[in-house]
Amino acid sequence: MRLFIFVIMVATVWASYEENYDSGTTYHETSKPVEIPIYKKYAIPIPHPVPVPVPQQIKVPIPQPYQVPVAVPHPVPVEVVKHVEIPIEKPEPYVVEKKVPYVVEKPYPVTVEKHFPVPIPKPYPVHVPVYKHVFHHKSMRHNWKH
């Protein structure tokens, strides 16, 4: 009994699904056959270049002596410059002891005078205004204080 009810329910759901699918959509699917070209491969021989050995003789010129109007001496003289270092013997200093006939006082009395420069400030210029209506020199004619 339960199986029968289950089958009925599945059938009603399936029927409602098909009704909604067919009526509600405008999508339509069609198929069209397309011809696909098929290429066949044929074995055509293609000629390739073949190396062929060609017999040939390569001549290499060898320099040969020939007569020249100028006489060349053999062997040819070559100037050789060679710098030779000659050691120079330098005399080494040595101490000579001489006897003095008088007695020398040691240490020697030495006075050292050192002079230190002392900077002295120099006077700097000061601006003094000069007025034309004031006499800066004492006049000899107007001697009122005497």
Interval 39-64: pLDDT, tens: 888 888 888 888 888 888 888 888 88
Q: How confident is the model at residue 140 (pLDDT cuts 50, 70, 90)?
A: low
Q: φ, ψ for residue 8 (rounded to 5)?
A: -65, -40
Fill in the amino acid letter for 67.
Q
Say what the pLDDT of residue 1 is: 76
By the 10 Å C-beta count (0-12 exposed, 13-18 middle, 19+ buried), 105 is classed as exposed
Q: How confident is the model at residue 16 (pLDDT cuts 50, 70, 90)?
A: low
Interval 87-134: pLDDT, tens: 888 888 888 888 878 877 777 677 888 888 888 888 888 888 877 766
Cα gap 18→12, rounded to integer Å:
10
Closest CA to 23 of 15, 12, 31: 15
Fill in the amino acid letter for 50.
V
Say what the pLDDT of residue 21 is: 53
3-state secondary structure of 46: coil
HSE, CB side, 13 Å, CA atoms: give it for residue 41.
2
